[in-house]
Amino acid sequence: MTAPLETTSASAEAQPEAVLAGAGASQIEGRSLGQIAWTRFKRDKAAVAGGIVVIGLVLMAALAKPIQAVFDLDPNKFHQDLVDPALQAPKGAWGGMSWEHPLGVDPGFGRDLLARVIEGSWVSLLVAVGATLVSVTIGVILGVIAGYYGGWVDSVVSRLMDTFLAFPLLLFAISLSASVQDGFWGLTGLPLRIAVLIFVIGFFAWPYIGRIVRAQTMSLREREFVEASRSLGARGPFIIFRELMPNLVAPILVYATLLIPTNILFEAALSFLGVGIAPPQASWGGMLTDAADRYEADLQYMFVPGLAIFITVLAFNLLGDGLRDALDPRSK
């Protein structure tokens, strides 16, 4: 988790009292700020638990296809024999749970729910992480420029951020992703939906990162080590990349981690409303739509995708909170 911090001692001349880890290794205590942060992080049980769950989820998402192949889990295979034809409900107790289908099968089609949850995980994480990267890219570029150059540049960027923040994002995302049709960007089907979701969610969430980066840059800009660098003849780009960026890694990492769960909820909401990932591709939000449509047949179904989303969001939030406390103890 702290790997990027320990490699960022580029500005070792920075002040030892620099609040953010990564500002440089202070040799006096024999512990780098990264190590101090790691010690602090390890003490936070909830954050460690969150981190472990996150690692597990990422592995599950990354290895979704191999896992499905090895355990013979097909997310789109119908098992009509497991569904009661009259009620459309899975046969047996607990939504048709059995050794063969540990989480049961879905009503109507009898598709294996474990396979669909695994299948949904890579979609969900890909969209959430992709969108976060988009937000971080736009937010960091504009935030640093606004914070460093100030003046009218800052006014324009800040107004832009206010404008974005003044909108109900979900509604905009609904209308945007509802109106994109096949063939846009030369993509169709699932790749198009994923690309659109990443772009739409990322595009609307960047001001959250932008604001934080701008504020941090503004306070860093006035610090002595930046002044020293400038007096030695360093120009804007050098100062931004060599002096400011290493100090911005920690807050960016923290807020990116906290943005991921928001984006997971965002994607699930869009898929739930029918403008995100389209069926038959399994997605957690889409599974909840099925559950909502068929709650009379199978009331337990909704807990499978619902808890998948909840656990994922909770884990990322705990990890993010823990990282924030460890890296920036002064913030709350």
Report the interface residues with another protein, using CB under 8 A.
Answer: 159-160, 162-163, 166-172, 174-176, 178-184, 261, 265, 268-269, 272-275, 285, 288, 291-292, 295-296, 299, 302-303, 305-306, 309-310, 313-314, 317, 332
Q: Which is nearer to another protein, 11 or 257 (CB)?
A: 257
- CA neighbor of 328 nearest in space, from 260, 248, 259, 256: 248
Q: Which is nearer to another protein, 85 or 186 (CB)?
A: 186
- CA neighbor of 264 nearest in space, from 57, 44, 1: 57
Q: Which is nearer to another protein, 150 or 274 (CB)?
A: 274
Q: Which is nearer to another protein, 22 or 210 (CB)?
A: 210
Least spacing, CB of residue 178 vs another protein, in Å: 5
Interatomic CA distance for residues 286 and 275, integer angstroms: 10
Cβ–Cβ under 8 Å, residues 238 and 229: yes
Place of tokens 């150059």: 149
Cβ–Cβ under 8 Å, residues 161 and 211: yes
Place of tokens 């046969």: 91
Least spacing, CB of residue 145 vs another protein, in Å: 19
DSSP annotation of 81 reads G
Q: Which is nearer to another protein, 73 or 275 (CB)?
A: 275
Least spacing, CB of residue 172 vs another protein, in Å: 7
Q: Which is nearer to another protein, 281 or 289 (CB)?
A: 289
Phi/psi for 73 (5° steps) reads -105, 115
Cα atoms in the Cβ-side hemisphere of radius 13 Å centred on 181: 1
Least spacing, CB of residue 303 vs another protein, in Å: 8
Q: Which is nearer to another protein, 234 or 314 (CB)?
A: 314
Least spacing, CB of residue 19 vs another protein, in Å: 20
Question: Any long-range contacts for 135-138 (C-beta under 8 Å, 24+ apart)?
Answer: 135/201, 135/202, 135/203, 135/205, 135/206, 135/208, 135/209, 135/256, 135/259, 136/206, 136/209, 136/252, 136/256, 136/259, 137/206, 138/202, 138/203, 138/206, 138/209, 138/210
For residue 3, give Cα distances in angstroms to 120, 124, 125, 175, 180: 29, 25, 21, 40, 39
Least spacing, CB of residue 101 vs another protein, in Å: 21
Least spacing, CB of residue 177 vs another protein, in Å: 10
Interatomic CA distance for residues 316 and 206, integer angstroms: 18
Least spacing, CB of residue 182 vs another protein, in Å: 7
Least spacing, CB of residue 6 vs another protein, in Å: 30
Q: Which residues of 88-125 are buried (b: 16+ CB within 10 A; e: fewer)?
A: ebbbeeebbbeeebebbbbbbbbbbbbbbbbbbbbbbb
Q: Which is nearer to another protein, 181 or 231 (CB)?
A: 181
Q: Which residues pair with 90 in a beta bridge?
A: 83
Q: Which is nearer to another protein, 12 or 156 (CB)?
A: 156
